[in-house]
Structure 1
Amino acid sequence: MTKYLVSIIGNQTLPNILPIKEFDNQIHKYIFISTSKVQTELSWIKNLCNIEENQCINLPVDENDISDIVSKLEGISEQFNNDDLFLVNLTGGNKIMSLGVFQFFSQSSFKIKMFYLNMGSNVLRQVYPAIDASLRDEPLLYRINVADFLGSYGATITNSYGIFKMTKPREYTTVFFENEWSKEPIIRKIREEKYNIIFDRIDAVYRRELREFLSKINFSLTLEDRITKDEILYLTGGWWEEYCFHFIKEKLDIQEPFIAKGLMNDKTNNELDIAFVKDNVLHVLECKTTILNKDDFEDYVYKLAAIKDNKNGFGITVKAYLVTNLFKMTNNQIDATFKKRAEAFNVKLIDKSFLQSESFSL
């Protein structure tokens, strides 16, 4: 007996990838029903799931013609045996493609099981043959990690060497946050100097002030005569990103490789401050220490909206968050114009108080 997994390919690849990963070594052959428009997406699926061409039957069809779909399936049916088993994933493609595939297999004499994956539910629902309601749903046990989730959209992580690297230990970052050292006036000077802080080339007074500050906060330098780029980034805002990373990781109990920091990818050309996958849903956090300016706020929201784009980003199922230590406030509430703009793009705003509240959840 040969076990086949039939997949209908569309613009969204995850509904195909998750069942392939779920059934893994159980499948002997893959039947991919697709159109010329989604060959790139099909290549992403095969690459991510390590499927060789000799394992595949590639079936190009007319996405708007049920008879063409049925005819194409009939054309390859001669190579099947009566005892073969077909697991048919009806989730991908458009409705006509799903109807055509359903029509062929429901009228065939093969052993079949057709199912649908409702994205976000992690449940495979059997839709044919009819089965008792108490038995038709099977849990999807496979959980995809961050790198593979991005890979399902054709993205490659371009800085994989640094995505789990922290400038300082969690304990130090917690102390930095609790003591509000980021509010010290010298932090502004460090930010203005950018990457040019070399102790023997700056004003003596500033040099002494800087050394005293770093000593006060027990901030040890990697190099004696300068602050590295990573250390400058930490002092001028990176500490907040690291604090949020540790907080999310521990609060939600998410471990590598399901959570990463500072991800650069070649699809959106944007850095993802924090990205994690929980129950096969990608969550992206943009972390900023302070957001008071409307233009800056909108830039951050637009960036997150682009990440949620179906074509150029990672799909509308992405959960996007803008996380800051301090938003612009009006009457002790996040400014109404900020809230309205974020709601329009389905971006959730999180401030320091919510992050640390008893009811915190994502």
Structure 2
Amino acid sequence: MDRKHRDLVGGTWLEEYTYKQLKDINSIQDIALSCNVASHKYRLDKNQYSDENKGNINEFDILFLAKNKLHIIECKTQILDKSNGIKAEDILYKLETLKDYGGLMTKKCLISYFPLPEAMRNRAKTYNICLIEGTDIQRIKQKIQEWIAK
């Protein structure tokens, strides 16, 4: 199996599904899938894996503009708990940190294929992060429209 298909099975299917659902929402001004955004410290004369560039480039699953605000979506297909080595809090911290790219009005959303732990839901409320999880994915377009309208 080639890398593209491995990635698709490994989780990019949720990003692509979400992206396709969002393409039909009229209030979205511009949308991008799987964007790499570099900070001002990123060195173009170096490889992205060089020590100087580590931590200076971030990947966004989905970015879009709606109502003149940047919206960031992170998609996860893994069970987000400490038992499998993926800390749910790390995902929320990433979203909270990445909002700096779009300023104070940036809106953040986590889409999870699996239901999230209660502690993660509580922390997401603290950071004002929209959560779409589990069976809500069936209504993802409607949920995103509601999120944009808030």
Taking structure 1 as the reference length, what is the TM-score of the superposition?
0.32
Which position in structure 1 is the counterpart of 2:111?
323
Deviation at 1:240, TM superposition (A): 1.1
Aligned pair partner of 1:258 in 24, 27, 30: 30
Which position in structure 1 is the counterpart of 2:9?
235
Higher RCO structure (Cα 8 Å, ≥6 apart): 2
Aligned pairs (5 A) from 1:1-362: 227-250=1-24, 252-253=25-26, 258-267=30-39, 269-294=57-82, 295-309=86-100, 313-328=101-116, 335-357=117-139, 360=143, 361-362=146-147
The alignment-based identity, stated in percent, is 31
Matched position secondary structure for 1:317: coil
Q: Deviations over 1:120-153 (max 9, x none)?
A: xxxxxxxxxxxxxxxxxxxxxxxxxxxxxxxxxx
Matched-pair contact (CA < 8 Å) for 2:77–2:114: yes
CA separation in 2, counterparts of 1:283 and 1:232? 27
Unaligned stretches of 5+ in structure 1?
A: 1-226, 329-334
CA separation in 2, counterparts of 1:265 and 1:324? 23
Matched position secondary structure for 2:103: coil
CA separation in 1, counterparts of 2:113 and 2:94? 19
CA separation in 2, counterparts of 1:306 and 1:238? 22
Which position in structure 2 is the counterpart of 1:28?
none
Matched position secondary structure for 1:327: coil
Matched-pair contact (CA < 8 Å) for 1:308–1:314: yes
Change (3 A) 1:359 1:247: closer
Runs of 4+ residues deviating >6 angstroms = none
Which is strand-richer, 1 or 2? 2
Matched position secondary structure for 1:290: coil
Which position in structure 1 is the counterpart of 2:51?
none
CA separation in 2, counterparts of 1:292 and 1:279? 31
Matched position secondary structure for 2:35: strand
Matched position secondary structure for 1:258: strand
CA separation in 2, counterparts of 1:291 and 1:253? 32
CA separation in 2, counterparts of 1:233 and 1:242? 11
CA separation in 2, counterparts of 1:325 and 1:356? 10
**CA RMSD across the alignment:** 2.2
Deviation at 1:359, TM superposition (A): 5.2
Unaligned stretches of 5+ in structure 2?
A: 40-55
Deviation at 1:254, TM superposition (A): 6.1
Change (3 A) 1:354 1:317: same
Which position in structure 1 is the counterpart of 2:47?
none
CA separation in 2, counterparts of 1:355 and 1:246? 13
Matched-pair contact (CA < 8 Å) for 1:290–1:327: no
Q: Which amino acid aligns with 2:8?
A: Y
Deviation at 1:228, TM superposition (A): 2.3
Matched-pair contact (CA < 8 Å) for 2:113–2:134: yes
CA separation in 2, counterparts of 1:236 and 1:254? 30
Matched-pair contact (CA < 8 Å) for 1:273–1:287: yes
Taking structure 2 as the reference length, what is the TM-score of the superposition?
0.73
Q: Deviations over 1:161-219 (max 9, x none)?
A: xxxxxxxxxxxxxxxxxxxxxxxxxxxxxxxxxxxxxxxxxxxxxxxxxxxxxxxxxxx
User: Which structure has the bigger radius of gyration?
Assistant: 1
Deviation at 1:355, TM superposition (A): 3.5
Deviation at 1:261, TM superposition (A): 0.5
CA separation in 2, counterparts of 1:240 and 1:305? 21
Matched-pair contact (CA < 8 Å) for 1:322–1:349: yes
Q: Deviations over 1:255-295 (max 9, x none)?
A: 7x710100001126110000110121111000011333145
CA separation in 2, counterparts of 1:296 and 1:258? 31
